[in-house]
């Protein structure tokens, strides 16, 4: 296997979870002598060279209400590119239009693997009328996906549950990784941001409905109401920012927007006392793992993959309630901070990107063998 073509929608100008996964896997592939070619939506048709292999951008429209993310609608140009590229394997980070590549691959005997970055039932929740049976819709969609793709990779047990529910047999669980050099307890040492309160909280992620950032705001408001000297830093941008600013009222919350420099994000995480990760439908939680790598414990939702990533002793899982999550923050900061930081870092060290890439490559190779034997 010498060339893997990655296909991704919603690969935007800002660094998001999907983009991080795609690029970190590509970097590891390159270290194994495998060329990555990425096809993703852009403002215009263009190509660019990177250390991990070429990126090919296909002109595509912005998805309304997505905060600037684009989606390739017509796939004819993508399929023509695949004809020219002659991939040894295809890796699709999309469950919408780019699924068309799976049929192209099957007709040509090329193994095609889906990276499942989100749960369909979670995406649809809040976006469709209440009478729509989300479970049935998700099951039908996922059954179609598992029939089309040779393999499906999920980053957590939580993410794999919607496939297990339909009895899919071609699903593997491969946790994503973290850049352990950039994200470390020493991040920003010497230039760390100054403290604004006795208790520094942080939340990192898109300010969009599915991420439930309002819960982080509510926790800060609740702690402020109790008289706690608290400050919350919200890192990220998205369509909910104005709403969240109003929700914060007079609580000490700072919105810093999108931070493109990963070293700066690491410095912010390392300087915080607790990270808030309230999303109930998180299929992995890269921000959780990056926080742990910086030695910062996490208060996460009791559902979703956040606490699955966090592990025991590195944070607290709480119900989606401001008072209970505020109680969890108070409990964490009353613990031995040095011991917490050490445990958090040790947990993160179990998830290097090299381990994730090795596992995904193993899935590609197994799919290649199955397709070849068929």
Mean pLDDT (the chain) is 93
Matching CATH number, 199-348, of 3.40.50.2000, 3.40.50.970, 3.40.50.620, 3.90.1150.10: 3.40.50.2000
pLDDT at 48: 96
Query: By CB neighbour count within 10 A (0-12 exposed, 13-18 middle, 19+ buried), where does 21 fall?
Result: buried
- Is the pLDDT at 190 greater than 70, yes or no? no
Mean pLDDT throughout 235-242? 92
The CATH number of domain 3-177+352-373 is 3.30.420.140 = no
Confidence of residue 192 (pLDDT cuts 50, 70, 90): low
In angstroms, rounded to a whole number, what is the distance separating the alpha carbons of residues 2 and 313? 42
Same fold: 3-177+352-373 with 199-348: yes
pLDDT at 63: 87
Tokens 């990760």 found at: 277
- Is the pLDDT at 313 greater than 80, yes or no? yes
- Is the pLDDT at 4 greater than 80, yes or no? yes
In angstroms, rounded to a whole number, what is the distance separating the alpha carbons of residues 361 and 28? 10
In angstroms, rounded to a whole number, what is the distance separating the alpha carbons of residues 187 and 180? 10
Residue 251 DSSP one-character state = S
pLDDT at 126: 65
- Is the pLDDT at 232 greater than 90, yes or no? yes
Mean pLDDT throughout 235-255? 93
pLDDT tens digits, 13-49: 776 899 999 999 999 999 999 999 999 999 999 999 9
pLDDT tens digits, 100-128: 999 999 999 999 999 999 988 877 776 67
Concatenating the DSSP letter of every residue in 105-131 gives: HHHHT--EEEE--S-HHHHHTTTS-TT
Mean pLDDT throughout 194-198? 91
Which are the contacts of 239, defined by CB distance < 8 A and separation ≥ 6? 65, 66, 67, 207, 208, 209
List the beta bridge partners of residue 276.
299
Mean pLDDT throughout 346-364? 98
The domain ranges of the chain are 3-177+352-373, 199-348
């Amino acid at each position: 296997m010498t060339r893997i073509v990655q296909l991704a929608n919603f690969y935007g100008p800002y660094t998001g979870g999907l983009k991080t996964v795609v690029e970190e896997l590509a970097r590891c592939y390159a270290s194994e002598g495998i060329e990555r070619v990425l096809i993703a939506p852009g403002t215009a048709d263009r190509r660019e060279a990177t250390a991990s292999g070429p990126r090919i951008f296909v002109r595509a429209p912005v998805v309304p209400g997505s905060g600037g993310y684009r989606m390739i609608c017509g796939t004819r140009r993508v399929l023509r590119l695949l004809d020219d590229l002659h991939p040894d394997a295809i890796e699709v980070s999309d469950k919408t239009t780019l699924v068309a590549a799976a049929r192209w691959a099957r007709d040509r005997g090329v193994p095609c693997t889906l990276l499942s970055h989100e749960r369909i039932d979670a995406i649809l929740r809040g976006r469709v009328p209440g009478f729509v049976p989300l479970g049935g819709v998700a099951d039908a969609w996922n059954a179609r996906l598992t029939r089309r793709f040779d393999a499906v990779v999920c980053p957590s047990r939580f993410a794999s549950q919607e496939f297990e529910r339909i009895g899919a047999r071609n699903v593997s669980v491969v946790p994503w990784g973290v850049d352990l050099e950039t994200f470390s307890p020493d991040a920003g040492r010497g230039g760390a941001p100054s403290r604004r309160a006795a208790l520094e909280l942080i939340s990192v992620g898109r300010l969009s409905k599915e991420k439930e950032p309002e819960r982080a705001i509510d926790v800060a408001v609740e702690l402020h109401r109790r008289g706690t000297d608290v400050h919350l830093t919200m890192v990220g941008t998205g369509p909910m920012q104005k709403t969240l600013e109003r929700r914060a009222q007079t609580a000490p919350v700072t919105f810093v927007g999108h931070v493109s420099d990963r070293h700066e994000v690491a410095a912010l995480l390392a300087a915080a006392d607790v990270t808030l990760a309230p999303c109930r439908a998180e299929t992995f939680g890269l921000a959780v793992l990056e926080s742990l790598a910086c030695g910062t414990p996490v208060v996460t939702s009791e559902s979703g993959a956040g606490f699955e990533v966090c592990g025991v002793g590195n944070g607290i899982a709480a119900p989606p309630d401001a008072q209970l999550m505020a109680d969890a923050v108070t409990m964490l900061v009353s613990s031995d901070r040095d011991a917490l930081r050490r445990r958090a870092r040790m947990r993160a060290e179990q998830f290097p990107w090299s381990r994730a890439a090795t596992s995904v490559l193993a899935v590609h190779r197994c799919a290649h063998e199955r397709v070849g034997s068929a």
